[in-house]
A = this chain, B = another copy of it.
Amino acid sequence: MNIRNYILKKAEKAKNARLGWTPSDIKNQALLNIADDILENSEKIISENLKDIKNAEKKKLSVSLIDRLRLNNKRIRSMADGLRQVARLPDPVGEVIEGTERPNGLVIEKVRVPLGVIGIIYESRPNVTADSVGLCLKSGNCMVLRGGSEAINSNKILAEIICASAYASGIPEGSIQFIDKTDRKIILQMIQLAEYIDCIIPRGGAGLIEYIRKNSSIPVIAHGKGVCHTFVDRDADIEKAVKISFNAKVQRPGVCNAMETLLVHRNIAERFLPSMISKYKAAGVEIRGCKNTKKIISGIKSATEKDWSAEYLDLVLSVKIVDSIDDAIAHIEKYGSHHSDAIITENEDSAERFLKEVDSSSVYWNASTRFTDGGEFGLGAEIGISTQKMHARGPMGLKELTSYKFVIRGNGQIRE
């Protein structure tokens, strides 16, 4: 069978499964059963995963990639816990978002419905297979899953367990389609199937996301990069500023909501920077400063133009002294990625201006950018963080995997 037919068949099966009409209790029980079956089959999963690890080692893939690939009992437990947590969340499908009775007696409700079929294209971490099934299934969406070739054995066994468990629990046959071929050409075919797939969610590196954005004829919800800023205003409380700026950079530098650039108002720079930088240095952070930062702090690298838009995802920080809040906002607008940005200040007017004028998915006053996360925001679960403005912005939970329809009940109304 050629690739085009292969993926077409899968997408067609997903479209015809109509998971959207399945009641909540069946979906929830299925999620709990999948969790149980994953735990029961831990040994099998780990032994399949070992094949992927060995292949990766043979191919001399990076240590961090191999780490992302690896499944152990703890990670398998956390997969199962994730599914159980999603089972406990309220079902978004059928929620009446707005309702009104019109003067002519028509009762109009705006009702939440699934998007339909969601295509998820991801890379090495096999837990994404289980996470995606949890969120899509709960939100009534059928799915076409395409994991990375390096995790193919782990994903295959997971998909096998998940599908068997789901269909035995009453989930319509065909709802979960897993692409078990690793040919990269499948991606290009898949993102052209607008007739069958309603939405593509890419999860992975900037290269993958850019490729999909450019070539997809299906709408994409993408988790973009995070070039996050903390602006220490002239009216900042220095203790808070140090605590927050340290946390935003150091607590987990490899994630998208970690700070990459520290902006400092010139009126506070001499009081704030020396103790801040020495704290960073003690934690092993490499500092790249602007000209004026280097006048205050000696022995640091110079930041180049490229640094201001870099997503380091590492213990590296660029530092810039700015003349005013206007300059800080303009810098964020020019170099940022509209992900998460914070102002540290005791001045309410400055704070409110920053919160209004900085055009990012999440804007903070006196808190760490590290909080941008579905769990931390109380959404319960998260499929990614959108840096786009259409459809969904910021952390995306179950609601962001839905659309709505207008349901109108009448008793013979006609338009005059």
Contacts and interface: CB of A to CB of B under 8 A. Distances in A.
Contacts of A389: 115-116, 198-199, 403
B408 A367 contact: yes
A282 interface: no
A243 interface: yes
Given A251-B415, A390-B115, A403-B393, A408 B102 contact: no
Question: Chain A interface mostly helix, strand, loop or mixed?
Answer: mixed
Interface in A157-201: 198-199
A379 B12 CA distance: 36
A1 interface: no
Contact of A415 (B199, B371, B390, B408): B371
A412 B102 contact: no
Interface residues of A, number: 64
Given A108-B378, A357-B21, A371-B415, A365 B102 contact: no
A108 B362 CA distance: 10
A404 B372 CA distance: 15
B378 A390 contact: no
B366 A412 contact: yes
Contact of A370 (B102, B252, B415): B415
A355 interface: yes
Interface in A387-403: 388-391, 393-395, 403
Interface in A82-135: 100, 102, 106, 108, 113, 115-116
Given A100-B378, A367-B106, A405 B394 contact: yes
Nearest to A355: B407
Contacts of A406: 361-363, 372, 377, 393-395
B405 A361 contact: yes
Given A371-B106, A415-B376, A410 B366 contact: yes
Interface of A: 21, 100, 102, 106, 108, 113, 115-116, 198-199, 214, 217, 219, 221, 237, 240, 243-244, 246-248, 251-252, 351, 355-357, 359-368, 370-372, 376-378, 388-391, 393-395, 403-416
15 contacts: A21-B356, A21-B357, A106-B371, A240-B411, A243-B412, A246-B414, A360-B405, A364-B408, A364-B409, A365-B410, A367-B411, A370-B415, A377-B406, A394-B405, A394-B406
